[in-house]
Chains A and B, each alone.
Chain A
Amino acid sequence: MGLIGREAQSLSGLDTPNAGLANEEEKMKVSDYGEFASGALLIAVGLFATGYALTLPMGSWLRIGPGAFPFGAGVILLGCGIATILPGFLKSGSTPRIEVRPALAVLGGGLVFALLIEHVGLIPSVFALVLIVATGDDKLSIRAKFGLAIVLSALTFAIFKLGLSLPVPAVEWSF
């Protein structure tokens, strides 16, 4: 870190005495939270993967066991995580922004669909799905959302029941 910092300094023509130390301190303050989170995620997954792989038989060179390959992949992941998190301290960066509402609408709609489909059938699940997903933004009025849900339910019936005869009942009730 220090070496690279000093070298970059001489390249940029900055050559005041003691600047190295001062910059070192500055750098610790500006960290790239996105890179930090990325690195942390990779390290977490890597640790879990290697830990789990160690519980599997590793085998020998003649007969490679089921644990060896995932262990290798986990080690690469750990390495990448460390290589991502360290420069994260050095760089400044923008904190990533998460679109919470669209994420909740899309994933929530999908979850409701998955939980409903085997109990109430295809059409009611699609209806619920569309209503929830459409709350992802404010651009549609409530009436428009219901209208869209009705149209798409009808379309689903036409394509997947009449057209492809999907082996799931259009409407049922089984809890």
Chain B
Amino acid sequence: MGYEDFLANAALGLETALLPANLLYCFIGVFVGMIIGVIPGVGPLAAMSILFPITFYVSPTAALIMLAGIYYGSSYGGSITSILLNVPGTPTSAVTCLDGNPMARKGRAGVALITTTIASFVGGSVGIALMMMFSPLIVALAQMFSSAEYFSLMVLGLLAATIISDGSQVKALAMVAMGLLFGTVGLDLNTGIPRYTFGLIELSDGISLIALAMGIFGFSEMISSLRGVKTGEVRRVTLKSLIPARDDVRRWRMAMARGAAVGSFFGALPGVGPGVAAFLAYALEKRVSRNPERFGHGAVEGVASPEAANNAADQTAFIPTMTLGIPGSATMALVLGVLIMHGITPGPRLLTEHPDLFWGLVMSFWVGNLMLLLLNVPLVGVWVRLLQIPYKWLYPAVVMFICIGVYSVNNSAFDVILALLFGALGYGLRVLGFSPAPLLLGFVLGPLMEEHFVRAIVLGHGNVLIFLERPISAVVIGISAVLIIWGAYSTIRQFRRNARVLEQQQQQQPSI
């Protein structure tokens, strides 16, 4: 692709992003995302679902711009809570607590806030630039893909999400399988035979994505955070305290550059996501630091690097979702689901058939990040006041928004009940130590995988080895196999370590 094409695409995108309606929805998205990010216990998935009904009133482009705005807006907001309350506002900003909160306790909350704002902007910008450069290349490569390659890539994506997840890999795999099962509910596309519908007409179109996402994330997050979250103990932050010292600015530069690089790379990989990217960036920063003992006690690099990383990852996560139609995380799965509901199938053809949508979205990222940069600083007082509202007043409002949100998607009380059932399931799974994100990924990818699997085998005239005979597919399957072996190895190692710890415990307390 030539330099001129690049400029033409950027110009088309900017033109779309700057349409008044799109600007407005971008603003609504980043603003609501930021508020939701600040409130602990409500993640971007809940926020996207709450605003989902609005997407039916606007063009798919505006809808996508808004939902994306919520997503990266919430990561700006989440770090504010991490710094001021030592509670991550969103899971991806958990690492920011480590040094952000100590900075606040030393009276440097203002500097920590400005650091996250600028680091987020830098990281986001790097991520967007990479997305603009690499998306056309991946699309060119994807022209060679057939169903076999898509199926293999989805297998790899789900396996990566399983193996890189925190906690038990077996449990993560179980969540993927459960998601795949929920994805099969409804009438089979090829034969029209109902599967797992139990005679309910409401289930014949399948389980509503919003009901599932709101249940396992929205309701279950509210139940588990209801007693745990304490807001209301936040000191005021003056605008003057936002000014960083010269030493801070010097430390920012390399930390942000490294964070953005780590975040961009890992964000684009399936299954990794911004949370892991931020954690890796923090670990790297601590390792390269000349005095790592400062970390955990308010090192400004410990805020700058992970914040740059999670925002870079937020943006590059869109690359596989938009160009291949393969989401790498639960949030991206929701974005994909929204596009499909609006009749747009993400994939290589999206760039040629809807260039305004794709490039408009990309350029709206710049606009949105700029808005966040400008909003974050003057509104610091508002965020502090929002955190001073006790949680007992906030959580009924959030539950209310979730209920109305689920209801209004199809004007269906059945969907609300379905979401409540998933809420109970999701809470149960959470209590038992499952992380429900892979479930949503499996749910969205399941029907696509089944379709591509069936089609690949039909194209191969019943030959199951088609996945190994096509070179790109074979390489992807090979990587998946390596992941499985590595996953099995580390599970067994973990298992042995547990057995050893138990042994030692028994040695110490022989009379149990």
Which one of A23, A38, A66 lies within 8 Å of B503 (CB-CB)? A23
CB neighbours of A91 from chain B (8 A): 498-499, 502
Cβ B177 vs Cβ A134 within 8 A = no
B431, chain A: closest CB distance, angstroms: 5
Contact of A99 among B180, B226, B462, B502 (CB under 8 A): B226
A76 to B502, CA, bound (A): 29
B432 sits at the interface (CB 8 A)? yes
**Which A residues are in CB contact (< 8 Å) with B150?**
none
Q: Is the beta-carbon distance between A8 and B503 smaller than 8 angstroms?
A: yes
CA distance A103 to B458 in the complex (A): 47
Q: What is the distance, in angstroms, from B190's C-beta to the closest C-beta of chain A?
A: 7
Let me know if A28 is at the binding interface, CB within 8 A: no
Query: Of A12, A62, A70, A134, which one neighbours B458 at CB under 8 angstroms?
Result: A62
Residue of A9, A57, A140, A166 touching B191 (CB-CB under 8 A): A57
Q: A56-B193, A129-B399 are in contact. Are A77 and B462 (CB under 8 A)?
A: no
CB atoms of A77 and B177 under 8 A apart: yes
Asked whether, in the complex, the Cβ of B498 is within 8 Å of the Cβ of A87, the reply is: yes
Judged by a CB distance under 8 angstroms, whether B397 is at the interface is yes
Tell which of B420, B457, B498 touches A114, judged by Cβ atoms closer than 8 Å.
Answer: B420
Q: Measured between alpha carbons, how far is A74 from B404 in the docked complex, in Å? A: 33
C-alpha gap A105/B392 in the complex (Å): 13
Q: For B227, what are the chain A residues with a Cβ–Cβ distance below 8 Å?
A: 99, 102, 136-137
Whether B413 lies near A76 (C-beta < 8 A) is no
Say what secondary structure dominates the interface of chain A. helix
User: Does residue A4 face the partner (Cβ distance < 8 Å to B)?
Assistant: yes
Interface positions, chain B 443-495, Cβ under 8 Å from A, are 446, 449-450, 453-454, 457-458, 461-462, 464, 495
Decide if B59 is an interface residue (CB 8 Å cutoff): no
The interface size bin for chain B is 35 or more
Complex CA gap A118/B503 in Å reads 59
- Chain B CB count within 10 A is highest, among A29, A56, A69, for A69
Task: Identify which of A90, A106, A156 contacts B404 (C-beta below 8 A).
Answer: A156
Q: Which stretch (B257-265, B305-313, B504-512) binds chain A?
A: B504-512
For B190, the chain A residues whose CB sits under 8 A away are: 66
B195 close to A106 (CB less than 8 A): no
CB of B360 within 8 Å of the partner chain: no
Question: Does more than half of chain B's interface fall in helix, strand or loop, or is it mixed?
Answer: helix
**Bound CA span A98–B433, Å:** 12
Select one of B53, B446, B495 contacting A87, CB under 8 A.
B495
Minimum CB distance partner of A64 in chain B: B454
Select B504's contact among A4, A12, A30, beta carbons within 8 Å.
A12
Q: Which of A64, A69, A134 contacts B396 (CB 8 A)?
A: A134
With most chain A CB atoms within 10 A of its CB, the pick from B168, B174, B222, B434 is B174
Note all chain B residues with C-beta closer than 8 A to A110: 219, 399, 402-403, 416, 419-420, 423
Distance in Å: Cβ of B69 to nearest Cβ of chain A: 18
Residue of B nearest to A136 (CB): B226
Which positions 87-145 of chain A face chain B at CB distance < 8 Å?
Answer: 87, 90-92, 96-99, 102-103, 105-107, 109-111, 113-115, 117-118, 122, 126, 129-130, 133-134, 136-137, 139-140
Given that A66-B195, A152-B396 are known contacts, is A73 also in contact with B180, CB under 8 Å in the complex? yes
Q: For the complex, what is the distance from the CA of A90 to the CA of B190, rounded to whole Å?
A: 45
Q: How far is the CA of A49 from the CA of B174 in the complex (A)?
A: 13
Q: Give the distance in Å from the alpha carbon of A129 to the alpha carbon of B420 in the complex.
A: 13
Residue B242 interfacial (CB < 8 Å): no
Expressed in whole angstroms, the minimum distance between the Cβ of A68 and any Cβ of chain B is 9
B424 and A130 form a contact (CB under 8 A): no
Q: From the candidates B408, B420, B462, name the one contacting A111 in the complex (CB within 8 A).
A: B420
> Given the complex of chains A and B, what is the CA–CA distance between A164 and B397 in angstroms?
18
- Name which residue of chain B comes closest to A131, CB basis: B396
Instruction: Collect the chain B residues with CB atoms within 8 Å of residue A7's CB.
Output: 496
Which residues of chain B have C-beta atoms less than 8 A from A47's C-beta? none
Query: Do A152 and B170 touch (CB < 8 A)?
Result: no
B173 close to A76 (CB less than 8 A): yes
Q: Using Cβ atoms and an 8 Å threshold, which residues of chain A touch B498?
A: 87, 90-91
- For residue B297, CB closer than 8 A to chain A, the reply is no
A69 to B458, CA, bound (A): 15
Interface assignment of A175: CB less than 8 Å from any CB of chain B = no
Do A30 and B195 touch (CB < 8 A)?
no
Shortest Cβ distance from B181 into A: residue:
A73
A34 touches B173 (CB 8 A): no
Beta-carbon contact of B404 and A160 below 8 Å = yes
B461 A62 Cβ-Cβ under 8 A:
yes
Task: Give the distance to chain B from A137, nearest Cβ to Cβ, in Å.
Answer: 6
B178 is contacted by which of A12, A60, A77, A111 (Cβ under 8 Å)? A77
The answer to whether B226 touches A77, judged by C-beta atoms less than 8 angstroms apart, is: no
Q: Mark B389-420, 1 if CB is under 8 A from A, else 0.
A: 01011011101101110011001011011011
Chain B residues in 8 Å Cβ range of A156: 400, 404
Name which residue of chain A comes closest to B449, CB basis: A69
Nearest A residue to B407, CB-CB = A117
Q: How far is the CA of A96 from the CA of B191 in the complex (A)?
A: 43
A-B contact pairs, 7 of them (CB 8 A): A37-B432, A56-B188, A73-B177, A96-B432, A109-B396, A114-B413, A129-B400
* B positions within 8 Å CB-CB of A: 53-54, 57, 168, 170-171, 173-174, 176-178, 180-181, 184, 188, 190-191, 193, 195-196, 219, 222-224, 226-227, 390, 392-393, 395-397, 399-400, 402-404, 407-408, 411, 413-414, 416-417, 419-420, 423-424, 427-428, 431-434, 446, 449-450, 453-454, 457-458, 461-462, 464, 495-496, 498-500, 502-507, 512
Q: Which residues of A pack against B, CB within 8 Å?
A: 4-5, 7-9, 11-12, 14, 23, 26-27, 29-30, 34-35, 37-38, 41-42, 45-46, 49, 52, 56-57, 60-66, 69-70, 73-74, 76-77, 80-81, 83-84, 87, 90-92, 96-99, 102-103, 105-107, 109-111, 113-115, 117-118, 122, 126, 129-130, 133-134, 136-137, 139-140, 148-149, 152, 155-156, 160, 164, 166-168
User: Closest 8 interchain pairs by CB?
Assistant: A80-B174, A66-B188, A114-B416, A102-B226, A76-B177, A62-B462, A73-B180, A139-B392
